[in-house]
Structure 1
Amino acid sequence: MKIGARVLKTGLAITLSLYASLLLFPNSSGALAGIAASLSTQPSVKKSFETFISRVVANTIGGLIAILMIYALGSSPIAIGVSAILTIAILNGLKLSDVIPLTVVTLVVIMLTNDTNYILAAFTRVIETIIGVTISFVINLLIHPPKHDVQFFKTLETVTSEVLLLTRATLRKNTDFAILHRDLQWARKQMKQFNNLFNLISEEWIISKTERVARARKLVIFRYMGRTTQSAIDLLTTLHKYNHVYHDFPDETRTIFRERLETLMTAHEQIIMKFYGKVPPEAVNYMEMNRENRDEYLNMFFNEAKHQEETKEHHQFEANGVTHILAASFYYEENLTNLNRLVRSYKLHEHGQEYDSSHDELRE
């Protein structure tokens, strides 16, 4: 059982909301304040603020609709159902669908009240809800504000190192097909978590303009880090899908391809080290082939594809597999080159140096 900061803050918000509600309205149970607090603690401060605004607006609308419908149709089950439909339709039209559940709860509680003063009862219930939302927002802002950087980098490092390890094993034909399939599913799940954390980091509330600019520059790097790791996963997926094609490569072709990918994967690891400051900004200059070597490399694959097309009469897609493997490796290389350029520029800017794009890549 794990109790994190968000769980503790939710419990504290509920407690304080109930106390505040009972203090302002002694005859009320404070239930709506507690419910609102429990539903309003968000994983980022910015999202908490957006939730705060939307819930206040939505519950005010719900309270007004409840009062109008009570006077127009009464508080019968049919009237409550019609009121709920109307409220949901309005909130959907205002793009406030995320706060519909709490608003409908508030509306139902108001319309089922036994108080003869419906306006006062509605006002009390709406204020209770606003109390819960407000206290939840303030607690999330002041007490251990959500920081996702550590988990973000941990997820990125874990999935990247694991995928590169699996790719190296696959290139040497040391993986089991079924086990690799399971590992790829795990990697895709980790990337979903990575993307969720990226969205949370991008939503962090930063007041200082200087810090916002610095964060925006980092977000560009983070996005390309994720894109590059995703392209590594795509490459491994392609090798897994067409492993029979790769295994049919001539020994020389397989060796050259393996050495090329080993160069790219080593560069990937060192680019990440560069971002952490463990490698100089101008390092990692060995990825790009010269024109002659690249032409020979392409011709080697094209000849292999042609050979597969000619010899596999009943399996015409073998040649496609060769092309898919080559394309996936080139896309990985392209993302690595872009990431390297961005990280180099970022680190040089961090040290107050000018970035010279003419030295992007040295030739092999």
Structure 2
Amino acid sequence: MAISCNQLSLSRGSRESLMKAVVTTGHGGYEKLEYRDVPIPIPGPGEVVLKVLAAGVNNTDVNTRLGWYSSSVQSGTNRLSTAGEGSPIEKGGWNSTTPFPLIQGTDCCGEVVLLGAGVTGPKAGTRVLVRPCMRVKGFSSPENIWMGSDFDGAFAQYLRVPAREVFEVCCEWSSIELATLPCAYGTAENMLERTGVGTSDHVLVTGASGGVGSAVVQLAKRRGARVTAVAGDTKTGSVRNLGADTVIPRGSDLCAELGGAGITVAIDNVAGENFGTILKIIARGGRYASSGAIAGPMVTLDMRDLYLRDLNLIGCTAWDEQVFPNLIGYIERGEIRPLVAQTFDLQEIAIAQQKFMQKRHFGNFVLIPPP
């Protein structure tokens, strides 16, 4: 049975109708992150309100704040984050203009507390994960919006989302562990689905120590593929422990290491100067998929590598319908494991993002809202 607003003391105009949230006020540095009181959302028809139990930190949170998705930005995220503010950035979000002020937060593990009109489940008290990539026109259309980039997300005590986008998960994982999953693992699973990875494939994973990369390693091995991963020197052991068959230190000559190795699929969220090299080592008829460009979005493509060798280049942002249900099943059957690097109180978001950008950690950072 749904809990009423009065039962939760969420009535409009009362002191209790406020919650703590991190509000991003515009494109820029950490000064754009304001920890303050905002109204607790009330569910509309077909919606639910969740109490946020834990919220993961991702590259997309930083990219959205910086305006990195604007075509006017040509550098990698790290360079933009340290360069300071330059000219005002327009159309810097996933879908054109970011709707500031915005509560970011793409990853959410939460508890259902309010049901809007017409919603029969999941029931109040249910622990759920939110599918952050939402196909607003159905799965036959590539149109999509993202929680925390296109509308308010999980960096708050409460969150309002469509009921169809919340998924009950029954497992022994902690809420902190669950909060590491949605964005990184959903993105990874989507790329593996799009490229059709199976037991006959040899998959190259760049940035394998990052959130998406480490998820790709686990999920590709779960599919029975052979995995070669690229990671920083200090993290090769951790990536190998995830199941990678071979780990190559970042900065190695990939042509020398992997030329003729039979790479059939490359999952590359790094891009930058190695993009052209990666295409040269993919076997004829192979597939390349990407959902990011950490090292920089501007790349060099030799068209002969593409058409003479019948390669398939696949961009992956909109998640296919089976991706998130697949992920819930993997969790409940114990086929993957979470990687928690560190937790922070919600109000420490700037500290968390600063450490996140240093890239010295292995695993995911998680923010904990006040109770």
Work out whether the TM-score is over 0.5: no
Q: Which has the higher helix share?
A: 1
Q: Which range, TM-score by smaller chain?
A: under 0.3
> TM-score when scaled to structure 1?
0.25
Which structure has the greater CA radius of gyration?
1
